[in-house]
Amino acid sequence: METSATVAFVVYALLFGWRLVDAVEGSASVAVLAGGIVAGYLVADLVSGLAHWVGDRFFDETTPLVGQNFIAPFRRHHVAPREMVEHGLVELVGNTAILALPPMALAHHSLRPDSLPLLFSGGLLLSSLAGAVCTNLIHRWAHMPRPPGPARWLQGRGLILSPERHARHHRRPFDRAYCITTGWLNAPMDRLGVWKAVERWLGRAARQDPR
Ligand SMILES: [Zn+2]
Ligand SMILES: [Zn+2]
């Protein structure tokens, strides 16, 4: 199921991406599409941080439904950060592909980018879903001693999460830098104390030790 969802997601993303490119006419639409793609990439980073923060700070491995499938991998990752380097591609991205496939397919079948707002929305949807699906792969590259050449190139230009940016999450006090797609939002969110403020607001619910 994970393999089928991953393949189907890639096919739909490519078809939809091609439709967006095909709809570009003139410099205004190029700028609008680029803006949508950057905004979507930021959304993916935010969602990665939100999912990671919930996985680290809430519930535990014995929680019904989510304990073993969602919470346990986050906790295990702190004890054995390199373990995910051994995981295969589908093992890393398959779960997210299952969640991202329905909205991607829906966009492909129903969204016609024939105006600038729809072109922006299409770019945002595509890059947020594609960024979300790639997040665990990007996270793995940040833990690899020798990631593949293209990954190193993207890390070096700050276009995906770099090992240095992610190392802050694995250092004491283990309560910051939750965003793991690009890590662009880590600095502003940590400086503003967003996660801690929400934890304070939620009180006892967010008392889990991420270690
Ligand atoms: Zn974590
Ligand atoms: Zn990590």
Q: Alpha-carbon distance 39 to 20, whole Å?
A: 15
The rounded Å distance from CA 23 to ligand 2 centre is 38
Closest by CA to 60, choosing from 68, 50, 51, is 68
pLDDT at 166: 96
Neighbouring CB atoms inside 10 A of 62's CB total: 9
User: Domain spans of the chain?
Assistant: 2-206
pLDDT averaged over the chain?
Answer: 93
Average pLDDT, integer, range 192-203: 90
Closest by CA to 44, choosing from 143, 182, 190, is 182
CA of 52, nearest ligand number? 1
The pTM of this model reads: 0.92
CA of 84, nearest ligand number? 2
The rounded Å distance from CA 81 to ligand 2 centre is 6
The rounded Å distance from CA 79 to ligand 1 centre is 10
Neighbouring CB atoms inside 10 A of 85's CB total: 14
The rounded Å distance from CA 51 to ligand 1 centre is 10
The gap from C-alpha 82 to its chain's centroid, in whole angstroms, comes to: 19
CA of 166, nearest ligand number? 2
Residues 6+ apart with CB under 8 A from 65: none
Q: What percent of the chain is modeled with pLDDT above 90?
A: 78
CA of 210, nearest ligand number? 1
The rounded Å distance from CA 146 to ligand 2 centre is 15
The rounded Å distance from CA 194 to ligand 1 centre is 16
The rounded Å distance from CA 102 to ligand 2 centre is 28
Q: Alpha-carbon distance 42 to 21, whole Å?
A: 20
What confidence category does residue 208 fall into, taking pLDDT thresholds of 50, 70 and 90? low
CA of 54, nearest ligand number? 1
CA of 174, nearest ligand number? 1
The rounded Å distance from CA 169 to ligand 2 centre is 7
pLDDT in tens, 5-58: 999 999 999 999 999 999 999 899 999 999 999 999 999 999 999 999 999 998
- Concatenated DSSP letters for 17-36? HHHHHHT--SHHHHHHHHHH
The rounded Å distance from CA 27 to ligand 2 centre is 39
Average pLDDT, integer, range 92-119: 95
